[in-house]
Amino acid sequence: MVTPPKKIEVAGLQVWYGRHEVLKNLSFDVYDHEILAIIGPAQSGKTTLLKVLNRTLDSAAGATLKGTVKIDGEDIMKVRSVFDLRRKVGMVSPLPVGLPMSIFDNVAFAPQQAGLTNRTELADRVERCLRQAALWDEVKDRLRTLGSKLSGGQQQRLTIARALSHQPEILCLDEFSIAIDPVTTMRIEEVLKQLRSQMTILLVTNLVQQAKRLADRTLFLLSGDLVEIDRTDVIFSDHPAQRKTYEYVNGIFG
């Protein structure tokens, strides 16, 4: 089997918050156009890992980092524009953070900032992103109302639509389904499977069955250590490489 090209290369990554080491010498690759699930108990460093990738960790008080992270062969710590990096690496946080503007403008804001001014193209981009986030049918007749008027689950899907509006090459989702009902979660999971042909997706989830349903490969973090990374069918088999992996995915601890 031909190995796909590497999209992300992580080597010797260590992260501290003050004196507390959060990520401990991680080395792994992420392939182009794959869904990589990142699983592990709370306080394992999953969210921190995503923050490294689009350099939102830069603003975390007391955070220090060693090691290298490359995207398309380029060291992200040496990029000229962190804003360009963040357009390339879209981020969806666990709880919705809506901009204080209309539903339409929430999604249109980033493309407009990037120079998209054609009204027809902008409207098409907004509709496509809202459809991808499984929100279009619910809001298409009230696009000019405030995004903050939506329910919590709808605001989370609006956050996903806004992340997609950047047309990212990498999409990082941190517990995206935490505020969404199961039916909508399944709809978005189907969208993510389709988006895999357009981008690389990293999915932090505490729902191990979600990882099993969605991911090509799964990475297991435990207290900042990379326990195992492998094909998802191997991680969820009766014989993963590490006993701790078997115990975690089968609910023996975590």
Kindly list the domain boundaries of the chain, sorted by start residue. 6-249
How many other β-carbons are positioned within 10 Å of the β-carbon of residue 172? 26
Query: Taking the chain (254 residues) in consecutive chunks of 10 residues, what is each chunk's mean pLDDT?
Result: 88 96 97 97 96 93 95 95 92 80 95 91 96 93 94 88 94 89 87 92 95 97 98 97 96 86
pLDDT of residue 211: 97
pLDDT at residue 1, rounded to an integer: 64
Evaluate if pTM is beyond 0.85: yes
DSSP H helices in the chain: 46-53, 82-88, 103-113, 119-132, 136-139, 152-165, 182-195, 208-214, 232-235, 243-249
The CATH architecture of the domain made up of 6-249 is 3-Layer(aba) Sandwich (3.40)
Q: What is the pLDDT of residue 141?
A: 97
